[in-house]
Amino acid sequence: MNILSFFAHPDDETMLAGGALALLAMLGHSVHYLVCTRGEGGEMGEPPVCVQGELGKYRTIETINAVKALGGKTVEFLDYIDPIVGPDNLLFTFSDDIENIETQLSKVVRKHHINSIISHGSNGEYGHPAHKTVFQSVKLYFEVNNNSDINWYTAQANYPNPIKPHLINKDDPASWILDIKPVIYMKINAAKAHVSQNALFVRRSQKELKRNVSLEEVIAEEEAYYWVRGSKDDLLSTFRESKNIRE
């Protein structure tokens, strides 16, 4: 199978869906990565790895290294600029032109003969407008191509007692929960590749636990996915064979 990982920013692919993407690659499938921005508006690390104006170039390299760690086949970026986070952690989308994003998505789907898309969920995980934009652009793709036989799944689906409840899409009930312990080392290595964001990854856990926390400690060992449309069994049968899921 040819799978497309389609997310808004560098590191979304790793932190939201890295386990499934690594497992698919390990099972012999071709996983392609499409990222809308180069993360120009994000954090620069502690200590900073570069100045703000160079962050996009730096995070492009980080993403390429992360995709390699996940066993990915290709990685491409759309030419959208990630807005800088506003006061009080105010977040913005990178574009309101859903039609143009859908057009570019469609080209990539055809180019790589994609069978399945994995993307952000309907709530944008923690409500990030850019994540919601990606979800809406995939939704539009299927409205435009209503006879498409491509499958669509979203990450961070809702299930009882999730490991990271702050990332869950509350309106997307989990179709299955994936145990990623067999590939957890790949997800950890991919997270480490996003050097500029490593401090961000551990910050919440450090505040909650009131102690220093390693990056390895914050990488969840399970991921939940919602089947949106297409053949539910396409990816599900693959994960069943690996015996790493519960439904």
Q: Residue 237's pLDDT band (boundaries 50, 70, 90)?
A: confident
Q: For 190-214, what is the mean pLDDT?
A: 90
- Mean pLDDT (the chain) is 93
Confidence tier at 204 by pLDDT (50, 70, 90): confident
pLDDT in tens, 40-98: 999 999 999 999 999 999 999 999 999 999 999 999 999 999 999 888 889 999 999 99
Number of residues assigned to the chain:
247
39 pLDDT above the threshold of 90: yes
pTM value is 0.95
| Domains and their CATH numbers in the chain | 2-246 (3.40.50.10320)
pLDDT digits (tens, 9 = 90+) for 96-143: 999 999 999 999 999 999 999 999 999 999 999 999 999 999 999 999
14 SS3 class: helix
Is residue 239 pLDDT above 80, yes or no? no
Mean pLDDT of 183-200: 97
Q: How far apart are CA 136 and CA 98, in angstroms?
A: 7
**Closest to 169 (Cα-Cα) out of 137, 199, 198, 127:** 127
> In this prediction, what percent of the chain has a pLDDT beyond 70?
97
